[in-house]
């Protein structure tokens, strides 16, 4: 399908069961693979990114069994040492898979090559490679320095126990180091240079490492200490939470389209930072109700623009840029420089497409300021092979204008059923 035409929509109401979290799914898959023992992983996300990780782990000798055609899997771990010491892995545009596997393989004892799609080769990885080299990793670039594709040779063990990594490009670099550090068998201290972005994603990493038996001492957000001799042990069974980033589209629909819209799979007990998207909606005037494992959004009054720092929820913040179209006054999203190195340059992409629907947009190095139009305009939205662009801009149709989404299949990266779920909670003007 080259495009999908969404009709003008008038309201949103209903309930959605969220797919599993991509961030949690791929972390759990790697941890299950590295652990001693067999882990049952329940409610794994079915998406391009998780398929990439599953395929890579299988190539590395990990036994992966899908249970009865369900979204549950059984992973037999390798106890820290992959059985296949040579592999050529293609990882698409899956940043969570590429960064974490780079770290894990670099601290093992094999020969590997890692590559991806053209956009993955434009996403920086030099900070992670520099940190891994401090631990004795032998990583070289097969193309431009600082970027994939990569060649990894067997680790040369050293006594270096303290490494540093920049924190202001991608939290996935720190996550990769944290996940891989126990493979060295020795005490490792990771220092973070500068401000650490996307801290809630690092919290997910630390939480899941604990579930697999490895404790990390965090000293502020600048120092992380992993004691020697810790090894990953299977917890036996582990559930994947619903995807909090994906929840943002439906919560926003409830705020824009009146609601109520209830998302099931995340709530006040969630370990994901992106549940704080609901707080931003509240600041804009939406009505939010929290349960342990669900959140409901509606709107009993008009929405208003806000000026806020979104460094902590960069993925979900994209949805706020769309909600801004329906608010009174401008909205400014600050501290979002990490958007530049995502699946596309999201600051530029969002600015370009927001202007198509009539918004006045000021684009900075690390911010967007959006002034909504008096009347939204029908538009054809380019998605830049970025799943979140497609999902975000579907919400524009709730302004009562038709929207064409180019390359809608890009949502397969994290949420293959997104558009059918979106249709299930929205009311078309043509149906009235």
- The DSSP result for 195-264, as a single string, is PPP-HHHHHHHHHHHHHTT--EEEETTTEEEE-TT---B--SEEEPPB-HHHHHHHHHHHHHSEEEEEEE
Q: Residue 431: what pLDDT?
A: 52
Rounded Cα distance, 393 and 389, in Å: 6
What is the mean predicted confidence (pLDDT) over 188-206?
Answer: 96
Rounded Cα distance, 61 and 104, in Å: 14
Within 10 Å of residue 14's Cβ, how many Cβ atoms?
16
Residue with tokens 């690390």: 366
Q: Is 127 a catalytic residue?
A: no
Q: Which residue has the higher pLDDT, 431 or 39?
A: 39
Reported as a single tens digit per residue, the pLDDT across 252-272 is 999 999 999 999 999 999 999
Q: Residue 161: what pLDDT?
A: 85
The answer to whether residue 157 scores a pLDDT higher than 90 is no
Q: Residue 236: what pLDDT?
A: 98
CA of 426: how far to CAs of 9, 89, 242, 422, in Å? 7, 41, 21, 6
Burial status of residue 122 (CB atoms within 10 A of its CB: 0-12, 13-18, 19 or more): middle
pTM of the model: 0.92
Catalytic residue among 46, 49, 127, 315: 315
- Reported as a pLDDT band with limits 50, 70 and 90, residue 104 is very high
Q: Quick one: which of 110, 25, 41 has its CA closest to 77?
A: 41
Q: Quick one: which of 94, 89, 171 has its CA closest to 127?
A: 171
What is the mean predicted confidence (pLDDT) over 90-97?
Answer: 95
What kind and span of H or E run contains 323? helix 314-323
User: What's the whole-number average pLDDT of the chain?
Assistant: 96
DSSP state of 177: H
Q: Quick one: which of 286, 325, 253 has its CA closest to 333?
A: 325
What kind and span of H or E run contains 22? helix 22-34
Both tokens of 324, joined, read 């801004």
Q: Are 319 and 263 in contact (CB under 8 A)?
A: no
> Cβ contacts of residue 327 below 8 Å, gap of 6+?
284, 285, 302, 303, 304, 305, 306, 372
Query: For 64, phi and psi rounded to 5 degrees?
Result: -120, 125
Q: Residue 429: what pLDDT?
A: 72
Q: In sequence order, what are the beta bridge partners of 90?
A: 115
Q: Are 280 and 309 in contact (CB under 8 A)?
A: no
Q: What's the count of helices (H) and strands (E) in the chain, helices before strands?
A: 12, 26
Within 10 Å of residue 431's Cβ, how many Cβ atoms?
9
The answer to whether residue 35 scores a pLDDT higher than 50 is yes
Reported as a single tens digit per residue, the pLDDT across 160-195 is 789 999 999 999 999 999 999 999 999 999 999 999
CA of 287: how far to CAs of 65, 262, 281, 405, in Å? 43, 12, 8, 29
Both tokens of 165, joined, read 């990594």
Q: Residue 432: what pLDDT?
A: 45
Rounded Cα distance, 55 and 50, in Å: 8
In order of their start, the domains of the chain are 3-19+242-431 (3.65.10.10), 22-152+159-223 (3.65.10.10)
Rounded Cα distance, 260 and 133, in Å: 51
> Cβ contacts of residue 33 below 8 Å, gap of 6+?
57, 60, 62, 75, 77, 78, 82
What is the mean predicted confidence (pLDDT) over 342-366?
Answer: 97
The answer to whether residue 412 scores a pLDDT higher than 80 is yes
Q: Residue 430: what pLDDT?
A: 63
The answer to whether residue 69 scores a pLDDT higher than 60 is yes
Rounded Cα distance, 57 and 61, in Å: 7
Reported as a single tens digit per residue, the pLDDT across 113-153 is 999 999 999 999 999 999 999 999 999 999 999 999 999 99
Q: Quick one: which of 43, 157, 93 has its CA closest to 387?
A: 93
CA of 135: how far to CAs of 157, 158, 161, 177, 422, in Å? 7, 7, 7, 10, 46
**Cα dihedral value 242, 246, 248, 252, nearest 10:** -120
Q: Quick one: which of 294, 184, 276, 191 has its CA closest to 230?
A: 184
Both tokens of 63, joined, read 């036994």
């Amino acid at each position: 399908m080259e495009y999908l035409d969404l009709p003008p929509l008038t309201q949103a109401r209903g309930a959605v069961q969220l797919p599993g979290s991509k961030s949690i799914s791929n972390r759990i898959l790697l941890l299950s693979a590295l652990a001693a023992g067999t882990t049952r992983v329940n409610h794994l996300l079915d998406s391009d990114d998780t398929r990439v990780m599953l395929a890579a782990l299988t190539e590395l000798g990990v036994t992966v069994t899908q249970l009865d055609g369900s979204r549950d899997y059984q992973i037999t771990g390798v106890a820290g040492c992959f059985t296949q010491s040579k592999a050529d892995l293609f990882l698409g545009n899956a940043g969570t898979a590429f960064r974490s596997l780079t770290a894990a393989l670099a601290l093992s004892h094999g020969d590997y090559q890692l590559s991806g799609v053209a956009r993955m080769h434009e996403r920086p990885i030099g900070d992670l490679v520099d940190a891994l080299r401090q631990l004795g990793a032998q990583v070289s670039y097969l193309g431009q320095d600082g970027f994939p594709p990569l060649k990894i040779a067997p680790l040369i063990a050293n006594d270096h126990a303290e490494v540093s990594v920049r924190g202001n490009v991608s939290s996935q670099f720190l996550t990769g180091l944290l996940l891989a550090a126990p493979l060295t068998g020795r005490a490792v201290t990771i220092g973070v240079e500068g401000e650490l972005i996307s801290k809630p994603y690092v919290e997910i990493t630390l939480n899941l490492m604990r579930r697999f038996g490895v404790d990390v001492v965090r000293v502020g957000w600048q120092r992380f200490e992993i004691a020697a001799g810790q090894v990953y042990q299977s917890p036996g069974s582990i559930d994947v939470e619903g995807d909090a980033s994906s929840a943002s589209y439906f919560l926003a629909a409830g705020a824009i389209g009146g609601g109520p819209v209830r998302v099931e799979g995340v709530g006040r007990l969630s370990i994901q930072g992106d549940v704080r998207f609901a707080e931003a909606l509240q600041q804009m005037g939406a009505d939010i109700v929290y349960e342990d494992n669900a959140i409901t959004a509606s709107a009993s009054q008009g929405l208003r623009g806000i000026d806020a720092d979104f460094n902590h929820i960069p993925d979900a913040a994209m949805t706020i840029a769309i909600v801004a179209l329906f608010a009174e006054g401008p909205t400014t999203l600050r501290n979002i420089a990490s958007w530049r190195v995502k699946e596309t340059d999201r600051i530029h992409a969002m600015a370009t497409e927001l202007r198509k629907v009539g918004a006045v947009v000021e684009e900075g190095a690390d911010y967007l300021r959006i002034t909504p139009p008096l009347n939204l305009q029908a538009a054809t939205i380019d998605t830049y092979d970025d799943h979140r662009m497609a999902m975000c801009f579907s919400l524009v149709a709730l302004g009562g204008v038709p929207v064409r989404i180019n390359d809608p299949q890009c949502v397969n990266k994290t949420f293959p059923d997104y558009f059918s779920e979106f249709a299930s909670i929205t009311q078309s003007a043509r149906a009235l």
